[in-house]
Structure 1
Amino acid sequence: MSTPSPELQQVIRDLEAALGEETLAKGRLRVRLEIAQFLTSLLAPLLLALLWLPTGWAVSLRNALQANSTWWRTWLAVAVFAVSSRVFIHIPLAWFFEFRTENLLGTNRQTLGGWLGDEARQAAIDILTLSLLYLGLYLVFRHWPHLWLLGMSVIVILFVGILVLISPWLMRMQNKAEPLDDPELTTRLRQLFEHAGVPFGNISVLKTSEKSSTLGASLVPKGAGTEVVVTDTLLEAMTPEEVADVVAHELGHKVHHDWPKSIAVLGFALIVTLAAGYWAVQALGHWDGLQGATDVATLPILMLAASWGGKITQAGINAYLRRTEYAADRFALETTHRPDVFEKVMVMLARQNQTLPQPPAWIECCLRAHPSTAKRVLMARQWGKQHGGSPPDSSRP
Structure 2
Amino acid sequence: MPPFFINLAFFSFIFLMKQILDITDMIVNHNVGLGAVCLLLIYTMPYFLQYIIPMSVMMAVLMSLLRMSGDNEIIALKASGVSIYRLVPPVLIFSAMGTLAAGFMTVYGVPHGTFRFKTLLLDVASTNLNVSLKERTFNDSFDNIMLYVNKIDPRSGELLNVFIEDRRKKGVSNTVIARRGKIVGDPKTMLYHMRLFDGTINQMDIADSASHIVRFDTYDIRLDLKAAAASASVAKKSPKEMTPKELARYIRKVKGKSKENYYGALLKLHKKFSIPFACIAMGLLAMPLGIQAKHSKKAFGVGLGLFFFLLYYMLLSIGSAFGENGSYPPVIGMWMPNALLGGAGIFLLVRSAKEKPVTIRWLESLWFSISALMSKR
TM range (shorter): 0.3 to 0.5
Q: TM-score, normalised by structure 1?
A: 0.32
Is the strand fraction higher in 1 or 2?
2
* Bigger relative contact order (CA 8 A; separation at least 6): 1
| Length-normalised TM-score, structure 2 | 0.34
